[in-house]
Structure 1
């Protein structure tokens, strides 16, 4: 890695934002461009200094990979400003549906992506402390999604060390709350899944939830959140061993799926966002392989799916390089296993049309 000073890193309320000038200093052509992909996790947002809406998403999808569909995951964006508080998050689903419909109306693009499949699945947010009373909120999301709404997300990320997670944000043990579990069970009865974003120190809570909500499909985001900053920065081997044991334990629950990605986020600790030039896909693949291969070994390809987590992961690399890294990591896998990892598992989990 270069010893030169890192580029300035823009941020908003603690969220690291992409440095677009830095990102353009290195890119790659897409490897194996015919491999069909469903991007199982991305966002759309408008933040000071960072806009990522359908135009920006379409530009990333046009970088050479064969993206056949995408899944939008909530980011507390575009909530309704008025109305009952529990229903305000439905504004996000309504907004994303509008973005998807507008993109569909534009027709198929030169990248071969069927634009009607952008945001083909939508994962929203609901206050799970509502318990059984969450059902009208979920039904409103389903209506607003116009056939695209697939689930909700819980992101009770929490850690007691403020160098890992901002003090005062989050709450320990949320997934063990009986009311929250009733809401999650309600989602399952409506055919909706639950995405979960936690740190590896909270994975026992996910096990607890999986055992108590066996009829709800749980999708664990970002490789289970392996932390590499704060107290974990100098204990990466120990943290990896703890994370690996928890991932293997979670694999015992058949209602859990696992998303492979999220590894350029600063909290994971690789530090690629601080280098003079963005890393190549070879460098990323070498760094990420132990984590991704552990996940695939534990869950099997049929229960794992790749995600871009853009624009969050855009802080460390561009879209073409990200998918090249995933392809490099799996280059020794069978065609059947790669089909599951790159599109099959996502299609099953989010009830999407499978690529031909």
Structure 2
């Protein structure tokens, strides 16, 4: 039985979702990972599927697309192939902007991928994204997620340790601020000090921490969420001292966190989700303030724990004690400002 929608009139900008079609994660050296189970539930997630979710009862007025390695160009220079994803998503955004699909403005902002390990060569790729984005391109994401235990990330073991500290990476990163582009950071809880260092080195660049820094409860971290919570909390508080950093409140339904709700049957209700996630969400809001926090769906990845309407019900339960001004920021205002959305 679907849950009743809480606060159905509250405007929402979903600042983090993906689009893909039959994506695969080639991982010959790693056994099937729980992350794959969630992905396999939605092998196709395009405009129709997104609209089915955003039209499920909550008042989603706009969304921001986040890179996911889909729809890259099949040929041409390797460094420029991710621009194909921006071209595709801008087409989806244009379809939505026509009004033929309802009032929601899907993909009003686009966050793509440019390999900053190109150093100064990354600037030309960023310029190509801007041209391809039709005025919607807002920034990039480079994942730094790494752990010595390869079972933690499974198929997402893709980078070497210390990416955000790399001098060549920072040569590429320095172009973002002057080009008015933001940077989405995805890394794991033990790596948060690396982002603290990056944020302090580039105070003029807008940085967004994805998924509250991804607390870990898998592999060598299984059963240790509570033990490591104070370490995560201290890192979050340190990161919040850099005023150029905002944080996305979500991603806690992923396999890496391994909360009891992940892949639970029957599916967890929104109250259980809110109870599991509350310490992390409340710590972030306390550290950053509502005007630097934004709830995110991370769909369809977070389908591993719940459907889209239940997810936003959980967030609304978590924000129940917030003022009207704080709710406006958490659910739409921060995303609108950070991604410079005219919606």
> 1:106: Cα distance to partner?
4.9
Three-state SS of the structure 2 residue aligned to 1:136 is: helix
Deviations 1:133-182 (A, max 9, x none): 11111011011110100000011110001221339632100100111112
Q: Which residue of 2 aligns with 1:3?
A: none
Q: Which of 86, 90, 97 is residue 93 of structure 1 equivalent to?
A: 86
Q: What is the 5 A alignment of 1:246-261?
A: 246-261=235-250
SS in 1 for 2:256: helix
The Cα shift of 1:230 comes to 1.7
Matches within 5 A, 1:153-168: 153-166=141-154
Could you tell me which residue of structure 2 aligns to residue 282 of structure 1? 271
SS in 2 for 1:272: coil
Correspondence for 2:119: 131
Is residue 179 from structure 1 mapped to residue 164 from structure 2 by the alignment?
no
**Separation of aligned partners in 2, 1:275 and 1:340:** 31
User: Could you say which residue in structure 1 is the equivalent of 2:48?
Assistant: 55
Alignment partner, residue 146 of structure 1: 134
Decide which moves more: 79-88 or 267-276.
267-276
Inter-partner Cα distance in structure 1 for 2:150 and 2:125: 33
Aligned 1:6-85 pairs, distance under 5 A = 26-47=1-22, 50-85=43-78
Aligned length: 324
Asked if the contact 1:181/1:213 (under 8 Å) is kept, the reply is no
Question: Could you tell me the TM-score, scaled by structure 2's length?
Answer: 0.92
The equivalent of 1:320 in structure 2 is: 309
Gaps of 5+ in 2: 24-39
Structure 2 equivalent of residue 307 of structure 1: 296
Q: Under a length normalisation based on structure 1, what TM-score does the superposition of the two structures give?
A: 0.88
Paired with 1:29 and 1:43, the residues of 2 have a C-alpha distance of: 25
Instruction: Name structure 1 gaps, 5 residues minimum.
Output: 1-25
Q: Check the 8 A contact 2:264/2:305 in 1, yes or no.
A: no
Partner of 1:217: 206
CA distance, structure 2, for counterparts of residue 61 and residue 165 of structure 1? 29
Aligned partners of 1:36 and 1:66 also within 8 Å: yes
Post-superposition offset of 1:100: 1.4
